[in-house]
């Protein structure tokens, strides 16, 4: 499965390791993804999603349903 947040769309980024001698080698930066279950109150079901730590903080602040609607409107929602 891809390392992509299902709410925010965060994905693996590519960059460089830089040594003290300023040698550069390619590396990957992975998002901090967690598999978490959220309760969808309108449907009365539990939903398991792979989300980033930032998305979990947003859900705690705004609520799961409001965050789902916002990400669907923004176009980053992938289920």
CA–CA distance, 16 with 65 (Å, rounded to integer): 38
Q: Each residue of 21-79: pLDDT tens digit?
A: 999 999 999 999 999 999 999 999 999 999 999 999 999 999 999 999 999 999 988 87
Q: Cα(first)–Cα(last) distance of the chain, in Å?
A: 12
CA–CA distance, 35 with 48 (Å, rounded to integer): 7
Which pLDDT band, with edges at 50, 70 and 90, does 1 fall under? low
CA–CA distance, 15 with 37 (Å, rounded to integer): 32
Q: What is the DSSP letter of 22?
A: -
Q: Which helix (H) or strand (E) holds 74?
A: helix 64-74
CA–CA distance, 64 with 62 (Å, rounded to integer): 7
> Which tokens go with 18?
């830089």
Mean pLDDT of 7-26: 97
What per-residue confidence (pLDDT) applies to 51?
96
Provide the whole-model pTM. Answer: 0.86
What per-residue confidence (pLDDT) applies to 11?
95
């Amino acid at each position: 499965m891809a390392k992509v947040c299902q709410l925010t769309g965060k994905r693996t980024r590519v960059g460089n390791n830089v040594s003290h001698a300023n040698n550069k080698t390619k590396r990957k930066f992975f998002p901090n993804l967690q598999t978490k279950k959220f309760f969808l109150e309108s449907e009365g079901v539990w939903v398991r999603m792979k989300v980033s730590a930032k998305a979990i903080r947003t859900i705690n602040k705004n609520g799961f349903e409001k965050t789902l609607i916002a990400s669907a409107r923004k176009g980053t929602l992938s289920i």
